[in-house]
Amino acid sequence: MAAPEEPRWLSDEERKAWLATAAIMITLPAALDARLQQEANLTFFEYMVLAVLAERDDRTMQMSDIAAGVSASLSRLSHVVAKLEKQGLLCRSRVPGSGRRTNATLTDAGHAKVVAAAPDHVAAVRDYFMDALEPADVATMQRVGMAVARCINPARPFFHGATR
Amino acid sequence: MAAPEEPRWLSDEERKAWLATAAIMITLPAALDARLQQEANLTFFEYMVLAVLAERDDRTMQMSDIAAGVSASLSRLSHVVAKLEKQGLLCRSRVPGSGRRTNATLTDAGHAKVVAAAPDHVAAVRDYFMDALEPADVATMQRVGMAVARCINPARPFFHGATR
DNA sequence: TCGTTGAACTTGACGCTTCAACTATAGGGC
DNA sequence: GCCCTATAGTTGAAGCGTCAAGTTCAACGA
């Protein structure tokens, strides 16, 4: 169950690349959380959920699809959606006659919340991430991100909109 | 306090790059945690702490330096180190005559633990991350990671070893 | 038509992280 | 010597995320 005989250690270059990536994974979400928290009283994850719904014409999506869209477990989503529903930012409704499916729909208050939070969030994404990239890096990050997602979960090909 | 007048929205390419990066931030730590959990009963963060100590000749570092090395708050580190100490993987000692400084030292058990966990952890880093990179991406990820870290915290130029 | 299986959530408990105090020590200023 | 501030860590409470179990519904087989 452990690794084979002699593990392929990381080269020095690989190790540096990995440590730098690990630093992103640890600090970037924290930084974005802090900004959203003080500007809109939302977590990064909550924002992603609202944003993904706001992109839909009918502001509605099934729970599982949201979960796939924000790369999270259904359980985590369920807790967060319950909280957002209690705040009146969205509401849930069972789809009758189709198993246990549940739709979440953004309320007007929820939509207003995303619209209000978006400008500063986008600015934060630029400040902490996008501005650190050179032009050619944008395409690289997209390719690498999707490749990593595929490695981690080959089953779920990653959701991404389906809108527009 | 909100953004200026007209926010600079993300272009379509930037948006895709950002979503892919966000997916990494959400799924990669979870995947590594899962592997370390079942192979060594450690979290990714606990592993990082032990690993950073193991690289030192005397297996010893000051709390603040460890915190900087693993990009974490002192509070978080304190809780985790307390837990690791309870498990006998490291021990703390005050440095007399130099303020409130505390050193953490890896015990033999702790060293054995990292050595045992390392091969599978490295394999996991390859499986989920390194193997998704093309050769040229390694240098890019290192540069981008360090640039992002600088954007988020210009004060702390990022620690990285100082060993060897 | 009854029981079983599988899908789609929900829930509760537990552990980890964060935040805001709080403590202890050293280094001045006067 | 005494106070003031800064530095370095610790601690407890509150909130978030994860895991395992539970619930509800549809579909299918006998």
Average pLDDT in the A85-100 region? 87
- Which one is the CATH code of B28-152: 3.40.50.300, 3.40.190.10, 3.40.50.720, 1.10.10.10? 1.10.10.10
Per-chain mean pLDDT for chain A: 86
Q: Say if CB B125 and CB A14 are below 8 A apart.
A: no
What distance in Å separates residue A59's CA from the closest CA in chain B?
19
| Domain segments of chain A as ranges | 28-117
| CB proximity A81–strand C (7 Å threshold) | yes
Q: What is the pLDDT of residue A154?
A: 62
| B39–A138 C-beta distance less than 8 A | no
Q: Say if CB A8 and CB B120 are below 8 A apart.
A: no
Which among A113, A115, A99 is positioned nearest to A63, based on CA atoms? Answer: A99
Average pLDDT in the A73-97 region? 91
The closest CB to that of B145, out of A20, A140, A158, belongs to A20
Question: Could you tell me the pLDDT band of residue A82, with boundaries at 50, 70 and 90?
Answer: very high
| CB proximity A79–strand D (7 Å threshold) | yes
Q: What is the pLDDT of residue A54?
A: 94
Distance of CA A30 to the CA centre of its chain: 13
pLDDT along chain B (164 residues), means of 10: 65 91 85 87 94 95 94 94 96 84 95 93 92 94 90 56 28
What distance in Å separates residue B44's CA from the closest CA in chain A?
10
Domain A28-117 grouped into CATH 3.30.465.10: no
- As a whole number of angstroms, the distance between CA A122 and CA A39 comes to 12
Q: What is the pLDDT of residue B155?
A: 56
- As a whole number of angstroms, the distance between CA A80 and CA A133 comes to 32
pLDDT in tens, A107-116: 999 999 999 9
φ/ψ region of B56 (left if φ > 0, alpha if ψ in -120 to 50, else beta) reads: beta
> Whose structure tokens read 């379509």?
B12
- The helix (run of H) or strand (run of E) holding residue A64 is helix A63-69
Q: What is the pLDDT of residue B23?
A: 84
Residue A40 confidence (pLDDT) above 70 = yes
Q: What is the pLDDT of residue B5?
A: 59
Worst-scoring range by mean pLDDT, A6-10, A75-79, A130-134? A6-10
Question: Could you tell me the pLDDT band of residue A155, with boundaries at 50, 70 and 90?
Answer: low
| A16–B142 C-beta distance less than 8 A | yes
pLDDT in tens, A21-32: 988 888 888 888
pLDDT in tens, B69-82: 998 899 999 999 99
| B126–A8 C-beta distance less than 8 A | yes
**Which residues of chain A lie closer than 8 angstroms to B7, CB-CB?**
118-120, 122-123
The dihedrals phi and psi of B62, each to the nearest 5 degrees, come to -75, 145
pLDDT in tens, B93-109: 988 777 789 999 999 99
Residue B3, chain A, CB below 8 Å: the answer is yes
Residue A37 confidence (pLDDT) above 90 = no
